Structure 1
Amino acid sequence: MGRSAAVILAAGKGTRMGSQVHKQYLTLLGRPMLYYAIKAFEASTIDDIILVTGQGETGYCKKEIVDRYCFTKVSAVCEGGKERYHSVYEGLKAASDCEYVLIHDGARPCITSEVIEGALKGAMKYKACVVGMPVKDTIKISDEDDYAEMTPDRNRLWQIQTPQAFEYELVYNAYKKLLSSEAFQEGITDDAMVVETMTREKVKLIRGDYTNIKVTTPEDMEIAGVLLNRIYTGK
């Protein structure tokens, strides 16, 4: 098995959280939210962790999170860029000594080692894969005036999560091409989309976990607290 790395993104500002503190540093069960994502990857078979922070936050993350909680797999802490794809690219450059790479949002604290291992195996088997879950609700596509225009087949819809896992050279070259021209960058929302549009490689969908939520609002913080308590205490 080739060497593997995880790029954990912690450069977002979390404006919808309504807090002066960036959401990845908000406290959940007595510890920063970002702690839980790092902890899950630390406990997995991933070899290295690359932490991508906001501008001017690398020192804080090293001291208050990496050193404070004795994370030994964090091999680099680097600053992100203006957009998510800029931050991912910085993380990929720092993770160059690997064959497989998993990209994860630090705002998903409820990730488990089981989901991580599944994503890593998926990258080895399919070259490109993302974790997600089939949607539970009926989805409507609206027109410009918010009238229902179309109802897609729910059986073919997935809600996409992270980590998203790839052969390193595949995703690195896809991002390098993306950043070569602003014309490529419009509408890019995740790593799978970069690979889908910049290469001919198909991206496999594999099952993650409904508990692997992204924390975006104060209500999500409450839900994440309950889920983390269940994950780490079984209650």
Structure 2
Amino acid sequence: MKYVLIVAGGKGLRMGTELPKQFLPIGGKPVLMRTLEAFYTYNSEIQLILVLPHNQQDYWKQLCREYHFSLPHVVADGGETRFHSVKNGLALVNTPGLVGVHDGVRPFVSQEVISRCYDLAAEKKAVIPVIDVVETVRHLDGEGSVTVNRDDYKLVQTPQVFDVELLKQAYNQSYTPHFTDDASVVEALGVPVALTVGNRENIKITTPFDLKIATVLLDSCSI
């Protein structure tokens, strides 16, 4: 069985809007709907679990009616942090298999990346997509800074895909602020995480600039 937790807890603060960023339209359709569609296109039998703050769920239902959005999915309550949101979503995963965790505001993940993450996770148990760092990177050192080798670093994307039992075991740990993504939670068990190549278009839409980029990407991506 394959699952994906679509985690959408944004409040729109960095976007500068009252409307949470996951509900903003790109190309006439809310971002979040496009994200769900990407995984349904990958596999129409995948179990879609949307993790959304409780106080946003009525609005989501309203949007589904307005846009005639009928992809089968279930909704879990978002938590105090991303860690707690994922843990709530995992509570709805009740059979063995593979589970991905994906940011609700990354609608441009490619079909190739989704497929590769799930296929590799079947073997490696824990897989995350990454892309190269193309800018020069400096490390803050006291009051100064030094250039570091950017080839030693990668930028992490989602979906991060895991064996179901492994991820459930990882999320039984107590929360710490060092858990910045699912891979860091799994690594706290001492389990290695495999890397695979992501796609650069798979941006996280969090600022007005990102929204402008998204409208351009929409014209060149088949979503």
TM-score, normalized by the shorter chain, greater than 0.5: yes
Residue 169 of structure 1: aligned partner: 165
Q: Determine if the alignment matches structure 1 residue 209 to structure 2 residue 199.
A: yes
> Helix, strand or coil: the match of 2:130?
strand
Q: Determine if the alignment matches structure 1 residue 115 to structure 2 residue 106.
A: no
CA RMSD of aligned residues (A): 1.7
Give distance in 1, aligned partners of 2:85 and 2:135: 32
> Helix, strand or coil: the match of 2:186?
helix
Contact 2:4-2:99 within 8 A present in 1 as well: yes
Q: How far did residue 144 of structure 1 move?
A: 4.9
Residue 100 of structure 1: aligned partner: 98
User: What are the ranges of 5 or more consecutive residues in structure 1 without an aligned counterpart?
Assistant: 180-184
Identity of aligned residues (%): 35
Q: Determine if the alignment matches structure 1 residue 191 to structure 2 residue 182.
A: yes
- TM-score, normalised via structure 2 length: 0.93
- Return the letter of the residue paired with 2:132: P
Give distance in 1, aligned partners of 2:118 and 2:79: 26
> Helix, strand or coil: the match of 1:91?
helix
> Helix, strand or coil: the match of 1:7?
strand
1:128-167 aligned within 5 A: 128-145=126-143, 147-148=144-145, 150-167=146-163
Deviations 1:39-73 (A, max 9, x none): 1001112620000011222233234238821213x
- TM-score, normalised via structure 1 length: 0.89
User: What are the ranges of 5 or more consecutive residues in structure 2 without an aligned counterpart?
Assistant: none
Q: CA 1:169 to 1:209, structure 2 compared with 1: closer, same or farther past 3 Å?
A: same
Q: How far did residue 202 of structure 1 move?
A: 0.2
Deviations 1:80-101 (A, max 9, x none): 0111111111111112224110
Give distance in 2, aligned partners of 1:221 and 1:141: 29
Contact 1:57-1:79 within 8 A present in 2 as well: no
Structure 1 residue ranges, 4+ long, deviating more than 3 angstroms after superposition: none
Deviations 1:166-185 (A, max 9, x none): 00110111011134xxxxx1
Q: How far did residue 206 of structure 1 move?
A: 0.4
Q: Determine if the alignment matches structure 1 residue 225 to structure 2 residue 215.
A: yes
